[in-house]
Chains A and B, each alone.
Chain A
Amino acid sequence: EAQVTQNPRYLITVTGKKLTVTCSQNMNHEYMSWYRQDPGLGLRQIYYSMNVEVTDKGDVPEGYKVSRKEKRNFPLILESPSPNQTSLYFCASSPLFDFDTQYFGPGTRLTVL
């Protein structure tokens, strides 16, 4: 089954404790992206990657890092989480030249105390 998986689905952590949210897709997609969703603000892109070792900032990259060492994986790293990073996070992927078939993961609800 074609899918994007994220782990963990729920996470409660404390300020400053480094964490990683994993994202994996099994569709051999070149393009992967991370979004955060906050009430009243809709979905905002954090980082995206157009292929292995190619990443770039989205609209709200501050406080986040990403890496793309393998095509299928695109982890989101919070080196020193802060309470303003409490949010619902989505990973997405698509073929590079078929953007309309963008698949989203189930979401990770992160709470930073």
Chain B
Amino acid sequence: DAKTTQPPSMDCAEGRAANLPCNHSTISGNEYVYWYRQIHSQGPQYIIHGLKNNETNEMASLIITEDRKSSTLILPHATLRDTAVYYCIVRADYEISSGSARQLTFGSGTQLTVLP
């Protein structure tokens, strides 16, 4: 899986949009971009994922650049409860028959602090 680079920390004012960047310059064509978050020592929580197109769900939006070398997770109206570590993960959709691991490789993530 391609390596990802994220800033170690970011602040965002409550009610404003939080834009979390992720670089994955070595991403290959069959690799998806996933975002998870972890609120203080709880189990990680899936947020969103995408391959090429921008994606939106009830939690967030994912913007992937045309060359797919970077992406941005957008929380449109951040709240205090969004304070968490956000992980950007790139993984390939392995063939099950190959026996390869369908594993998520978590890096260090970005600590997002939403300020009142």
Q: Which of chain B's residues have a CB closer than 8 A to the CB of A96?
A: 96, 102
Residue pair A42, B109 in contact (C-beta under 8 Å): yes
- Which residues of B are found within 8 Å of A33, using beta-carbon distances? 103
Asked whether any CB of chain A lies closer than 8 Å to the CB of B105, the reply is yes
**B104/A45 in contact, CB under 8 A:** yes
* Chain B contact residues: helix, strand, loop or mixed: loop
Interface size on B, residues (CB 8 A): 22
Complex contacts, B34 vs chain A, CB 8 Å = 100
Which residues of A (61-103) have their CB < 8 Å from a CB of B?
88, 90, 92, 96-97, 99-103
Bitwise, B102-116 to A at CB < 8 A (1) or not (0) is: 111111110000000
B43 at the interface (CB under 8 A from A): yes
Query: Within residues 84 to 104 of chain B, which ones have a CB less than 8 A from any CB in chain A?
Result: 87, 91, 93, 96, 99, 101-104
Chain B contacts to A: CB under 8 angstroms: 34, 41-46, 49, 87, 91, 93, 96, 99, 101-109
Task: List 3 A-B pairs, minimum CB-CB distance, nearest first.
Answer: A104-B43, A43-B106, A42-B106
